Amino acid sequence: MRYVSIIYKRMRSEAAQLAHQLEQWFRKRGMEVFIRENIDNSGISRTCDKIDIPAESEAVVVVGGDGTFLSVARFIEERSIPIIGVNLGGLGFLTEINAESCFAEFEKILSGNFEIEERMALQVSVRREGKEIFSHRVLNDAVINKGALARIIDLHATIDGHFLTHYRGDGLIICTPTGSTAYNISAGGPIIFPTARVVILTPICPFTLANRPIVFPADVTVMVEVAEPATDVTLTCDGQIGYPIRDFDQVVVTAAPTPLRFIRAPGVNHFEILRSKLKWGQQ
């Protein structure tokens, strides 16, 4: 490995400090380094600016939390550059290496002691009157939900053209295994091993208790239609990109053609991360 890009959380002094320490650490080992503070993608907007990651990069290091990681993942999208995250102490499932051990972990990685994990992403589009008006790629989830003061919304869901069910409630989460530990878990959805290839549908506060989360194979096409006049309904992609949904719009979700490639350090264990982050076994 000869060229690495480092993107660090903006407006966070400890992130900048650690990122520049990593920069010097890599340079001392004869590597080229591209380093930038992440751009301001705070809040939910229809579009987000991107940092142009150099084509020569052999890896992208993200210093921050899961929000920073998700935004940086958009910068590389369908490119094959692998990515790894350094967590600064929050509840991070994507940024798996902690700041205290990152130099030791990167030493192992540079010696070739690592694995590449492929995580599936989703391609999400909105169709209105037969035309595609919005498209976005997500690593975690696509969420259709109502505003705080809006009424219950009605959604019709089909799988590969076959009617699945009628959801009535606050909304619906469509997520990847990587995203199963995000909003999905808060809504009562299942935890899925992150390298699995499945799509999860989890209703948000369903009016009917029989509407439970359901898991489908990755090759299905999910289509969700707003079934009746509704106001203040939004499609949110990875919690950062939003698009307003009108009556009878169709949200279509399929597996993205290329996965995101994660660098997995030898000291990282998914089950240990779950136990640590979710406080399993603690009284």
Residue 39 belongs to a domain: yes
| Structural domain count of the chain | 2
Distances (CA, A) of 89 to 112, 129, 276: 26, 46, 12
The predicted pLDDT at position 224 comes to 97
Residues 94 and 213 in one domain: no
Question: pTM of the prediction?
Answer: 0.92
Residue 198 domain boundaries: 122-255
Residues 271 and 220 in one domain: no
Residues 247 and 201 in one domain: yes
* Cα(85)–Cα(8) distance, integer angstroms: 10
In a domain, 92, yes or no: yes
Residues 89 and 133 in one domain: no
String of DSSP letters for 156-220: EEEETTEEEEEEEESEEEEE-SGGGGTHHHHTTPPP--TT--EEEEEEES-SSTT---EEEETT-
User: Can you give the pLDDT at residue 47?
Assistant: 64
Q: Do 243 and 154 fall into the same domain? A: yes
CATH code, domain carrying 269: 3.40.50.10330
Cα–Cα distance between 82 and 260 in angstroms, integer? 7
Q: Which of 40, 49, 52, 66 is catalytic?
A: 66
Has 66 been annotated as catalytic? yes
Domain identity same for 251 and 268: no
Q: What is the pLDDT of residue 46?
A: 63
Residue 229 is assigned to a structural domain of this protein = yes
If asked whether residues 241 and 272 sit together in one domain, one would say no
Q: In CATH, what number is assigned to the domain containing residue 218?
A: 2.60.200.30
Of 119, 126, 201, the residue nearest 158 (C-alpha): 201
Distance CA 64, CA 78 (A): 22
- Same structural domain for residues 12 and 37? yes
The pLDDT of residue 44: 61
Contact in structure between 150 and 233 (CB atoms under 8 Å): yes
Specify whether 223 is located in the same domain as 107.
no
The pLDDT assigned to 231 comes to 81
Q: Among 117, 158, 145, 135, which Cα is nearest to 259's?
A: 117
149 part of a folded domain: yes
pLDDT reported for residue 96: 81
Residue 87 lies in a domain: yes
pLDDT of residue 271: 85
Residues 77 and 15 in one domain: yes
Mean pLDDT by 10 residues, the chain (283 residues): 95 94 97 93 65 94 93 89 89 83 93 94 96 96 87 93 95 97 95 96 92 96 90 92 93 96 84 82 68
User: Are 135 and 236 in the same domain?
Assistant: yes
Q: Are 115 and 126 contained in the same domain? A: no
